[in-house]
């Protein structure tokens, strides 16, 4: 079946502009996660959703970052007034989200963001 | 909060040899430990996972071991092949609904 998809695959923007990154999770997955991966580094947790609510926003690096999810499906990560240090690959993952269990996260291919 | 360390950061092995990657975690409540493989330009893919009620798990050439007392877990790849070359991430989480914390990654190169 279809996996997690993300768009765009690449985004180049100028410093100070706003960007929106989109994630389409696997159908039926209620949990959705966003991570940031800087070049040559590990995955940095940003936020996760259970359904349309975000119980853990602890990883968002600043108030320029926000995310929303609608219809327990698509999620968008918005970065306002982008800075050069925002350049990274932004990865989305989804999982079944069964309460009381930790279940496998399936990752999308990522969006490579470059802020000039 | 949970902290996951991973060693080595880079690893080169000859084709056919074994590769071992080791991780430690800090939160004794963690009891789910997945391993992900990330190839260049792609998102991470789960290759194997282990839960705390199990000490070892094998899947063909890949095995994972867990020592809950020492808070260590390891990935073992036997008979390595060039297509095993990638970055490998270990991770830890609790069985209660929680985020997964990743280690910094190990870049494995298998030399033909």
Residues of B with Cβ-Cβ distance to A35 under 8 angstroms? 102
The pLDDT score that the predictor gives to residue A100 is: 57
Smallest CA–CA separation between B20 and chain A, in Å?
19
Q: Residue A16: left if φ>0, alpha if ψ -120 to 50, beta else—which one?
A: left
| Interface contact flag, A102 B95, Cβ < 8 Å | yes
The pLDDT score that the predictor gives to residue A99 is: 64
Q: Given a cut of 80, is residue A44 above it in pLDDT?
A: yes
Q: Kindly provide the b/e burial profile for residues A2-39, where b requires at least 16 CB atoms within 10 angstroms of the residue's own CB.
A: eebebeeeebebeeeeebebebbbbeebbbbbbbbbee
Cβ atoms of residues A65 and A46 within 8 Å: yes
Q: With pLDDT > 70 as the criterion, what percentage of chain B qualifies?
A: 96
Residues of B with Cβ-Cβ distance to A4 under 8 angstroms? 43
Average pLDDT rounded to a whole number, residues A32-52 = 90
The pLDDT score that the predictor gives to residue B63 is: 97
Average pLDDT rounded to a whole number, residues A78-89 = 97
Q: Is B44 on the interface with A (CB under 8 A)?
A: yes
The pLDDT score that the predictor gives to residue A2 is: 80
Q: How confident is the model at residue B89 (pLDDT cuts 50, 70, 90)?
A: very high
Residues of B with Cβ-Cβ distance to A108 under 8 angstroms? 43
Which of 70-99 (B) contact A at CB < 8 A?
A: 89, 93-99
| Interface contact flag, A102 B32, Cβ < 8 Å | yes
Among residues A39, A74, A37, A72, the alpha carbon closest in space to that of A53 is found at A72
Rg, chain B, Cα only: 13
Measured distance CA(A25)–CA(A83) in Å, rounded: 27
Q: Kindly list the distances between the CA atom of residue A12 and the CA atoms of A16, A43, A44, A87, B8, in Å, as whole numbers in the listed order.
A: 12, 21, 21, 9, 33
The pLDDT score that the predictor gives to residue B53 is: 78
Average pLDDT rounded to a whole number, residues A66-85 = 95
In the sheet that A19-24 helps form, which strands lie side by side, from edge to edge?
A: A5-7, A19-24, A75-79, A65-69
Residue B21 DSSP SS3: strand
The pLDDT score that the predictor gives to residue A57 is: 82
The pLDDT score that the predictor gives to residue A6 is: 97
- Closest residue, chain A, to B96 (C-alpha): A100
Q: Given a cut of 60, is residue A72 above it in pLDDT?
A: yes
Cβ atoms of residues B10 and B70 within 8 Å: no
The pLDDT score that the predictor gives to residue A105 is: 87
Q: Given a cut of 60, is residue B40 above it in pLDDT?
A: yes
Q: Kindly provide the b/e burial profile for residues B15-38, where b requires at least 16 CB atoms within 10 angstroms of the residue's own CB.
A: eeeebbbbbbbebeebbbbbbbbb
């Amino acid at each position: 079946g279809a996996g997690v998809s993300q768009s765009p695959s690449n985004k180049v923007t100028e410093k100070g502009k706003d960007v929106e990154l989109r994630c389409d999770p696997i159908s039926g997955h209620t949990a959705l996660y966003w991570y940031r991966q800087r070049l040559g580094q590990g995955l940095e947790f940003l936020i996760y959703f259970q359904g349309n609510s975000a119980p853990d926003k602890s990883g968002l690096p600043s108030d320029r970052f926000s995310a929303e999810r609608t219809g327990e499906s698509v999620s968008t990560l918005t970065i306002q007034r982008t800075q050069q240090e925002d350049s990274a690959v932004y990865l989305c993952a989804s999982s079944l989200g069964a309460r009381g269990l930790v279940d496998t996260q399936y990752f999308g291919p990522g969006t490579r963001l470059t802020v000039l | 909060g949970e902290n996951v360390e991973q060693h080595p950061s880079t690893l080169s092995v000859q084709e056919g040899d074994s590769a071992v990657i080791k991780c430690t975690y800090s939160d004794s409540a963690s009891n789910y430990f997945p391993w992900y493989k990330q190839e260049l330009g792609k998102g991470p893919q789960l290759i194997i996972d282990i839960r705390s009620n199990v000490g070892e798990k094998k899947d063909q050439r890949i095995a994972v071991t867990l020592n809950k007392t020492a808070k260590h877990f390891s990935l073992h790849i036997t008979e390595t092949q060039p297509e095993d070359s990638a970055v490998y991430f270990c991770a830890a989480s609790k069985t209660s609904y929680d985020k997964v914390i990743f280690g910094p990654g190990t870049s494995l190169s298998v030399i033909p």
